[in-house]
């Protein structure tokens, strides 16, 4: 027998033995025990499952010319808060609003390419600080888009509440309020710069105005906490403000692409995270990079919709290029390939981000039924 044949048959037989071992371990439910072999089996199961799912996702998006479901538009780059879970330490410029001229050009590109949902939110900025917020919402609704936005609630005076109620009547608008806390200390430790009583009143006023018109379902509350044991207190406080727990989600934060140290250092993958199962979860295709995309206030585009405030993952410029060229272009496609090769060398944000390990988000501590509408249950789900 030649050396090569000998080696090949040894490899084949060792592969056979390993696969039998996994089969045996699965049969004997070792996957659910905490032993090293149990963890190895679980990890292998996840690697196989994640790869199959990622390949389905790739096929789906390739067949629709790589168009994202939702495009986030940074109508305001400026933010008035410094929340403890947000990536503000990386911000190079805390000012700038997208012009209406550029905004209309962006919408026309999206329309040509059949993108149906625009998100007036992004990794940096409070949308309702833009002097054009009202126009931006109206224009997108008039153009037939579904419009979704977030707010830190501090700009919710009478004028913005009126704008939101009017948008809600379209039936194609929803808003997530970023709010948690049950007293001054617990709120202001997270939403740094917000005043607990003042912001609580504004959120309650918005809720009451929507409730009066039977439109309260457009408002959900997306709250962040570092301390899971206080979750119920956050939910109860929001109920005191008139917000049904069905419209509340409280979660631990992710690590904002490694910019914020949250949870514990997960030595198996070398990132900070609240996710508990990273030992057995593998790197996978980031959901964000395929389903969403971000256009900054100046028209530049990032492949990462939610964690790239500085253009680290820039893939083009919508003030000059078409959306189709950007998504089919070499820069974006190389990023997809890197995920599929499970090799993030050179992708400095993604390497440190906990989002692409295992299932996308950090632990959700409480989530009401209203959040069903945000779940992308299948690959055909085009709206958020």
Ligand X SMILES: C[S@@+](CC[C@H](N)C(=O)[O-])C[C@H]1O[C@@H](n2cnc3c(N)ncnc32)[C@H](O)[C@@H]1O
List contacts with ligand X (CB under 6 A).
Answer: 79, 85-86, 121, 123, 126, 150-152, 176, 178, 222, 224, 253-254, 256, 260
Taking the alpha carbons at both ends of the chain, their separation in whole angstroms is 61
DSSP 188-224: HTTSBTB-HHHHHHHHHHHHHHHHHTT-GGGEEEEEE
Count Cβ neighbours within 10 Å for each residue of 143-158 and write b for 16 or more, e otherwise. Answer: eebbbbbbbbbbbbee
How many residues sit close enough to ligand SF4 to count as binding (CB under 6 A)? 24
Q: 219, 119, 138, 145: which is closest to 176 by C-alpha?
A: 219
Q: 88 contacts which partner out of ligand SF4, ligand X, none, CB within 5 to 8 A by kind?
A: ligand SF4
Among 79, 118, 120, 219, binds ligand SF4 (CB under 6 A): 79
Compare residues 1 and 330 and give the one whose CB is closer to ligand SF4. 330
Q: 246, 254, 192: which is closest to 219 by C-alpha?
A: 246
Q: 151 contacts which partner out of ligand X, ligand SF4, none, CB within 5 to 8 A by kind?
A: ligand X
Q: Does 109 bind ligand SF4 (CB under 6 A)?
A: no
Backbone region of residue 125 per phi and psi (left: phi > 0; alpha: psi in -120 to 50; beta: other values): left
Q: Number of C-alpha atoms within 13 angstroms, CB side, residue 362?
A: 26
Q: 121 contacts which partner out of ligand SF4, ligand X, none, CB within 5 to 8 A by kind?
A: ligand X
Helices (H), the chain: 3-27, 36-63, 100-112, 133-142, 158-168, 184-188, 196-212, 231-240, 287-291, 323-328, 330-340, 348-352
We find the least distance from the C-beta atom of residue 16 to ligand X, in angstroms, to be 44
Q: 253 contacts which partner out of ligand SF4, ligand X, none, CB within 5 to 8 A by kind?
A: ligand X
Backbone region of residue 99 per phi and psi (left: phi > 0; alpha: psi in -120 to 50; beta: other values): beta
Q: Does 124 bind ligand SF4 (CB under 6 A)?
A: yes
Q: 289 contacts which partner out of ligand SF4, ligand X, none, CB within 5 to 8 A by kind?
A: ligand SF4
Contact stretch for ligand SF4 (CB under 6 A) within 27-35, 231-239, 305-313, 371-379? 305-313
Q: 263 contacts which partner out of ligand SF4, ligand X, none, CB within 5 to 8 A by kind?
A: none
We find the least distance from the C-beta atom of residue 88 to ligand SF4, in angstroms, to be 5
We find the least distance from the C-beta atom of residue 166 to ligand SF4, in angstroms, to be 23
We find the least distance from the C-beta atom of residue 97 to ligand X, in angstroms, to be 14
- Going by their DSSP bridges, the two strands 248-251 and 219-224 should be labelled as parallel
Q: Does 307 bind ligand SF4 (CB under 6 A)?
A: yes
The contact set with ligand SF4 (CB under 6 A) reads 79, 81-83, 86, 88, 124-126, 152, 178, 257, 286, 288-289, 304, 306-308, 349-350, 353, 355-356
């Amino acid at each position: 027998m030649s050396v090569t044949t000998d080696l090949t048959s040894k490899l084949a037989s060792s592969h056979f033995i390993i696969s039998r071992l996994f089969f045996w371990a699965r049969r004997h439910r070792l996957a659910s025990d905490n032993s090293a072999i149990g963890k190895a089996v679980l990890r292998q199961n996840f690697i196989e499952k994640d790869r199959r799912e990622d390949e389905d996702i790739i096929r789906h998006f390739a067949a629709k010319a790589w168009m994202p479901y939702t495009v986030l538009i940074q109508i305001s780059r400026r933010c008035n808060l410094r929340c403890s879970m947000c990536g503000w330490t990386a911000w190079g410029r805390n000012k700038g609003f997208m012009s209406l001229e550029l905004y209309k050009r962006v919408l026309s590109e999206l329309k040509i390419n059949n993108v149906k949902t625009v998100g007036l939110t992004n990794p940096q900025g409070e949308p309702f600080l833009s002097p054009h917020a009202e126009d931006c919402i109206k224009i997108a609704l008039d153009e037939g888009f579904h419009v979704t936005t977030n707010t830190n609630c501090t700009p919710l005076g009478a004028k913005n509440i009126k704008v939101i109620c009017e948008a809600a009547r379209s039936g194609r608008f929803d808003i997530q309020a970023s709010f948690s806390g049950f007293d001054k200390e617990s709120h202001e430790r997270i939403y740094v710069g917000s005043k607990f009583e003042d912001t609580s009143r504004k959120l309650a006023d918005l809720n009451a105005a929507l409730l009066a018109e039977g439109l309260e379902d457009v408002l959900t509350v997306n709250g962040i906490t570092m301390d899971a044991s206080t979750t119920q207190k956050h939910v109860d406080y929001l109920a005191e403000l008139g917000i049904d727990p069905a419209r509340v989600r409280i979660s631990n934060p992710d690590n904002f692409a490694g910019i914020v140290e949250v949870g514990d250092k997960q030595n198996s993958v070398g990132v900070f995270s609240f996710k508990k199962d990273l030992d057995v979860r593998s790197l996978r295709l980031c959901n964000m990079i395929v389903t969403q995309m971000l256009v900054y206030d100046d028209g530049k585009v990032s492949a990462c919709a939610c964690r790239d405030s500085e253009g680290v993952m820039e893939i083009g410029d919508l003030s000059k290029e078409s959306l189709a060229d950007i998504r089919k272009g070499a820069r974006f496609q190389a990023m997809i390939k890197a995920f599929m090769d499970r090799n993030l060398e050179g992708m400095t944000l993604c390497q440190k981000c906990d989002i692409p390990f295992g299932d996308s988000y950090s632990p959700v501590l409480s989530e009401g039924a209203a959040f069903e509408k945000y779940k992308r249950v299948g690959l055909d789900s085009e709206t958020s």
